[in-house]
Amino acid sequence: MRNLYTKITLLLTLSICLSNAFGQIILTSQNNAPVAGDSSRTREVVYVSPGAAGENQVWDFSAIQVSGKTSYRGVSEDMTHKMAGPGERNIVLAEDGYEYSYICSENSIREIGYANPGKKMTLGYDTPLVQMKYPFSFGQQFAQPCSGIAWYHDRSRIDFSGTYAVTADAYGTLILPDRIMKNTLRVKVVKQSLQISVCGSTQSTSTKYFWYAPGYRYPVLMLGTTENKYGAKEPVTHTNAWLNLNQASGGAASSVTLSDGQSETSENTVIVFPNPFSEQVTFNYFLRSQVPVSIELYDMSGKFNILVEKKKTQLDGLHTGTLNASKMGLPPGVYYLRFTFDRQVVVSKIVKI
């Protein structure tokens, strides 16, 4: 009997491990490498703390604020460089006046360098910088030295050298103002360099976090900091962050699944978490415009029918609220939250355990 119990325990443990493993996203060239013809528009957001690393994280960025700036990203083939070998292709990613040149293959993405014609600036690596290795999943990492030369106005030269490290340091659930993305993978990129020019030296450390979600070819969120130390002066830190949810990809990508069956084009989106819940459940809803809103909680038996929010006009943007099971006297069971946004009705099924 003890042997049978041991075998059952081992099988259950193995099944849980396999379930967790298959639930995680794995970056591949087929699903995540740049494809010529793709385009997207990133939205600049206010920088927030990237949160913890590790397994089964929940990053609640539901209150993240859009700062207004929108940037266009476009991917095209580059026929000017001759560095690509058999089975490889040269790709250019254009964004905010910069043109980043890459060599893409089934196994990796390598950056040749970049240019900004408007600022008359170019940068080239002595050896193409490996930005990603495929396949790539949680716990994997790689690092390499990097060096090269940058030019400003074709006459100001900057020599730089340093290190470049990439780590898939976390996975879990990403909560944004209008959607929940499960099984997201976070990739941490740290670039350290010493830059030397006729004006002196600069020590630079850049740390960026990229979130990849199923159904999206490119990162959906980036949070970054850059610290520059000019000579003996005190370090100066800059932050930047963006959302990239409006992606038009000609490459293979699975469909995007949003919480509670909401579609990406839904007029107003509702997020309820955690679900199932024991004591408290939180609901977020994102209004595309100013509309009257009312919220009801009920069960199918008709025993519970509670008006959570009386009908009143609310402004566009993110709204949030909570339900406390003890205060409302809710026993374990299945309940429904009915959100009425003017003429639109959204019903979310929740389970009290």
Number of domains in the chain: 2
Residue 4 belongs to a domain: no
Report the distance separating Cα 326 and Cα 315, nearest Å.
Answer: 30
Question: pTM of the prediction?
Answer: 0.70
pLDDT at residue 247 tops 80: yes
254 found inside a domain: no
CATH of the domain at 317: 2.60.40.1930
Burial of 175 (0-12, 13-18, 19+ CB in 10 A): buried
Same-domain pairing of 162 and 310: no
pLDDT (tens digit, 9 = 90+) per residue, 187-214?
A: 999 999 999 998 899 999 999 999 999 9
Judgement on whether residues 196 and 284 belong to the same structural domain of the protein? no
pLDDT digits (tens, 9 = 90+) for 15-67: 333 334 445 789 999 999 999 999 988 999 999 999 999 998 989 888 788 88
Residues 91, 139 within the same domain: yes
Residue 16 lies in a domain: no
In a domain, 112, yes or no: yes
Same domain, residue pair 64 and 203 = yes
Task: Give the span between the Cα atoms of 156 and 148, in whole angstroms.
Answer: 14
What's residue 249's pLDDT?
Answer: 62
Distance CA 62, CA 42 (A): 17
Q: Is residue 11 part of a domain?
A: no
Q: Is residue 7 included in any domain, yes or no?
A: no
> Is the model's pLDDT at 14 over the cut of 60?
no
Is residue 145 predicted with pLDDT exceeding 50?
Answer: yes
pLDDT beyond 50 at 85:
yes
User: Is 6 within the bounds of a domain?
Assistant: no
Q: Of 216, 248, 280, which closes a domain? A: 248
Distance CA 113, CA 100 (A): 6
**Same domain, residue pair 216 and 121:** yes
Could you tell me the residue range of the domain that residue 302 belongs to? Answer: 259-352
pLDDT attached to residue 19? 36
227-243 average pLDDT score: 94
**What pLDDT was estimated at residue 263?**
36
pLDDT surpassing 70 at residue 150: yes
Mean pLDDT of 274-302: 87
Q: Is the pLDDT of residue 254 over 70?
A: no
Say whether both 219 and 275 belong to one domain. Answer: no
Query: Does a structural domain hold residue 113?
Result: yes
Highest mean pLDDT pick, 76-85, 120-129, 261-270: 120-129
Q: What percent of the chain has pLDDT over 70?
A: 87
Give the integer Cα–Cα distance in Å for 214 and 207.
24
**Burial zone of 74 (CB within 10 Å; 0-12 exposed, 13-18 middle, 19+ buried):** middle
pLDDT at 248 over 80: no
User: How far apart are alpha carbons 113 and 101 in whole angstroms?
Assistant: 6
User: Do 222 and 272 belong to one domain?
Assistant: no
For residues 80 and 169, membership in a common domain is answered with yes
90 and 233 fall within a common domain? yes
Question: Do 283 and 231 have their domain in common?
Answer: no
- Beta bridge partners, 299, equal none
Which of 248, 282, 300 is at the close of a domain? 248
Q: Look at residue 173 in the predicted model and tell me its pLDDT.
A: 86
Mean of the per-residue pLDDT values of the chain? 85
- Per cent of the chain over pLDDT 90 is 55
Residue 265 pLDDT greater than 70, yes or no: no
Shared domain check, 339 and 264: yes
- DSSP character for 290? -
13-32: burial string, b at 16+ Cβ within 10 Å, e else: eeeeeeeeeeebbbbebebb
Looking at the structure, tell me whether residues 155 and 273 fall in a common domain. no
Q: Single out the residue in 198, 218, 248 at which a domain terminates.
A: 248
Interatomic CA distance for residues 115 and 111, integer angstroms: 12
